[in-house]
Amino acid sequence: MVKANDMTILPLLSRHEAEDFLYKESRLIDEDQLEDWLKLFTTDGIYWVPSDESSDPDIETSIIFDDSRQREKRIYQLRNKHLAQDPPSRTIHFISNVEVEETEIPTEVIVRCNALISEMRPGDHQFIQQGLSSPRTFSCRCLYRLHQDEDEWKIAIKQVNLIDRDLPLENITFIL
């Protein structure tokens, strides 16, 4: 909370502002503006899809655990015809149930939301790869730790908790 005029206590980030941030992130992913998506992260930010949301990614396997170097590598591969994304996936992100929590750090907040991600890879499914022309939906609960850097918010952690993470998952080489 931030004091305004020494009387009113305002939240550091409102729910509406958090929604705007999440909508922008979703749009950048869906419109394939992935270099701009990278800029939403802090320099030490993490993009994490755990196999168990209570796991420690330093000692247990994750579905995805990308630091800044790995995120850049992922985008490079997507841009340079990575076989698992040729043809590239098209996605639409739906965001709901956004909540904002303060943390013990004055310049950070936790943002929680639910997301549905619809993904489609165009093409002839009988010609090259399994899964082409078959729409898929991913349901998840997301947790973001956002850090305020001057006047802009950056992602310190994006944790995507898939609800079906304990079932076989095919080709998640696109951005959730």
State residue 90 phi and psi, 5-degree precision: -110, 135
Under-70 pLDDT residues of the chain: 1-11, 82, 123-133
Integer Cα distance of 63 and 54 in angstroms: 13
- Please tell me the predicted confidence (pLDDT) of residue 120: 84
Burial label for 74, CB within 10 Å (0-12, 13-18, 19+), is buried
pTM of the predicted structure, to 2 decimals: 0.86
Does the domain at 2-53+61-162 match CATH 3.10.450.50? Answer given as yes
Residue 37: what pLDDT?
A: 97
pLDDT of residue 44: 95
Rounded CA-CA distance 46/44 in Å is 7
H/E element holding 47?
strand 41-50
Residue 102's pLDDT is 92
Confidence at residue 9, expressed as pLDDT on a 0 to 100 scale: 47
How much is the pLDDT for 166?
Answer: 78
Q: Give residues with Cβ within 8 angstroms of 39, minimum separation 6.
A: none
